[in-house]
Amino acid sequence: MTRRIIVTTALCYSNGPLHLGHILEQTQADIWVRYLKQKGHQCIFLSGEDAHGTPIMVAAKKQGLDVENYIASIAESHLSDIKGFQINYDYYHSTHSDENKELCEDIFDRIQPHIEKRTIEQFFDVHEKMFLPDRFIKGTCPKCGAKEQYGDSCEVCGAFYQPTQLIDPHSTLTNTTPEIRKTDHLFFKLSELQPFICKWLEESNIQDAAKNKLSEWTSETLHDWDITRDAPYFGFLIPGYKDKYFYVWMDAPIGYIAALKAYCSTRDELNIEDLWWENTQSEIYHFVGKDIMYFHGVFWPAVLKAANIQTPTSLFTHGFLTINKEKMSKSKGTFISAAKYLETYPSDALRYYFASKLNDQIQDIDINWEDFAQKVNSDIVGKIVNIGSRCSKIIINHFDGNIKSNFEDSLPENKDLLIALEELITQVDDAYHQRKFSIVVKLISTFADHTNQFIADHAPWKLVKENQMDRAHSLCSMGLFAFAQIIALLYPVTPTLAKNTFSYLGLPITWRVAFPDYFSISSFPRLFERIDADAIS
């Protein structure tokens, strides 16, 4: 049965280059989407630029740029990196768009029964003449005592709090102690939606670790959510309120629907009201990092419920990316931008390495560059591509490049390999479905070992010398078929390798490979270069 699925990744914040942590999430989602499409499901893959907020306004000012020109240049660099890693979004949009503005205003109107105006105290930087957003205040966590924590949450203990609860606060803009001033803000009464959130969490298919963490938060009374920011601010003005803007975490997730709406405008057969609005039945999945799980697992479903719009089916949460067991850091040389990686290495190599570590858990993923080189060289070059190289060479040199017809049934040993291949397809299908990509890689690597052993055991090069040509022809044709099927199964992980392989074979990439009755090949190309471990260091 064909499924209708919408998949999103977290929007890329428009204040700097993408790093490999961004690529981890995008790769994880892209692998799953490619698999779903390969299986024939209707799947729409969306993301875009998270283009609002004070940090963007400040960054543009520092560079002497108009903020709209600034976010446009950032978006261009992000898209270049995304394409470089073969992340195949159906539509990549921006929160700074007409679609998002209209949707924000519409949803704001819909949730009015849950909106309340309150006078609050907020930090004000006298030198910059502005109220400070959470990320421009640092101090000591009021819960665990960790120093240099941001104004909304603690990265050490995971606590959420009001900025004015910070101990010894200071402005990150001027390094001065901010004043506390009063201002009127609008609050979304999240507490009124708490019973729904608890029910949604219970019924949704979220990973156990993520569900447990979200349940910790919902076990206590949820704090109502401040959805307002004061001028100066880069974002959308709230209709009817002077100098009040939608907070970035109000308009950013709405950007997912805006991206879908923009995509629908390019496709006559699609309509937003049929895909993600009131009473729709799409499957909606958000891939997110564990640092933004609260926004997507509590605040966002509550807003959608209040607006009478379909809530997400599930979240897929991943851990952070570390380099040699350390957080990415420019000072330690472990911060690696997506563009920097692509200067030297192919995207498929990192996609494969990420896949070898990705599963349905939320633990952190570590890159060890020596392990990276060893894994990629051993699996892709030494095992998988080696199958195609060995078999094609004999077929070209001794059989004019022609694949033997009916090779599947010509030898008992070929039938045995086909049975094993069928088992592999079933197991890989199940692992992809569950997003257990490390199992996909392990299954395929193990089968590649088995296929290489199959070739070694039957030694077609010896059969040629012994003039057992028909037997050698059948074995090599079977080996090449197994190679093609392995590459097809790896297509979601290594799309460039798959495209180059099937371009060489002159066949379409399909989940199940079929060789035509009369079929020939030419000289085997260099499909994948070995990774130079020395160059990494």
pLDDT tens digits along 87-120: 999 999 999 999 999 999 999 999 999 999 999 9
Distances (CA, A) of 189 to 107, 114, 131, 227, 299: 14, 5, 23, 10, 10
CA distance 10 to 31: 15
Same domain, 485 and 396: yes
Same domain, 406 and 473: yes
Q: How confident is the model at residue 409 (pLDDT cuts 50, 70, 90)?
A: confident
Same domain, 415 and 493: yes
Q: Which domain holds residue 272?
A: 4-110+261-343
> Would strands 12-13 and 42-50 be described as parallel, antiparallel, or unpaired?
parallel
Last residue of a domain, one of 343, 378, 398: 343
CB 524 within 8 Å of CB 392: yes
Question: Residue 1 pLDDT > 90, yes or no?
Answer: no
Same domain, 300 and 414: no
CA distance 503 to 498: 8
Same domain, 378 and 326: no
Same domain, 26 and 89: yes
Asked if residue 124 belongs to a domain, the reply is no
| Percent above pLDDT 70 for the chain | 99
Q: What is the DSSP string of 318-349?
A: E--EEETTEE--TTTT---BHHHHHTTS-HHH
Last residue of a domain, one of 343, 377, 398: 343
Asked if residue 502 belongs to a domain, the reply is yes
Asked if residue 358 belongs to a domain, the reply is no
Asked if residue 32 belongs to a domain, the reply is yes
pLDDT of residue 133: 83
pLDDT per residue as tens digits for the range 28-87: 999 999 999 999 999 999 999 999 999 999 999 999 999 999 999 999 999 999 999 999
Cis peptide before 163 (omega within 30 of 0): no
Same domain, 383 and 335: no
CATH of the domain at 333: 3.40.50.620
Q: How confident is the model at residue 280 (pLDDT cuts 50, 70, 90)?
A: very high
CB 391 within 8 Å of CB 479: yes
Asked if residue 251 belongs to a domain, the reply is no
Same domain, 335 and 410: no
Asked if residue 151 belongs to a domain, the reply is no
Q: How confident is the model at residue 536 (pLDDT cuts 50, 70, 90)?
A: low
pLDDT of residue 330: 67
CATH of the domain at 461: 1.10.730.10
The first and second tokens of residue 470, run together, are 């028909």
Distances (CA, A) of 126 to 54, 58, 177, 178: 16, 16, 9, 7
Q: Which residue in this structure is represented by tokens 């569900």?
A: 211
Distances (CA, A) of 347 to 321, 342, 343, 459: 17, 7, 10, 34
CB 234 within 8 Å of CB 56: yes
CA distance 358 to 27: 10
Asked if residue 321 belongs to a domain, the reply is yes
Same domain, 310 and 409: no
The first and second tokens of residue 338, run together, are 């997506």
Angle at 405 between CA 402 and CA 407, to 5 degrees: 105
Q: How long a stretch of residues is the chain?
A: 537
Asked if residue 52 belongs to a domain, the reply is yes
Same domain, 472 and 332: no
Question: Residue 493 pLDDT > 60, yes or no?
Answer: yes
Same domain, 407 and 530: yes
CA distance 17 to 262: 24
Last residue of a domain, one of 294, 328, 343: 343
Looking at the 3D structure of the chain, how many domains does it have?
2
Same domain, 336 and 401: no
Q: How confident is the model at residue 387 (pLDDT cuts 50, 70, 90)?
A: very high
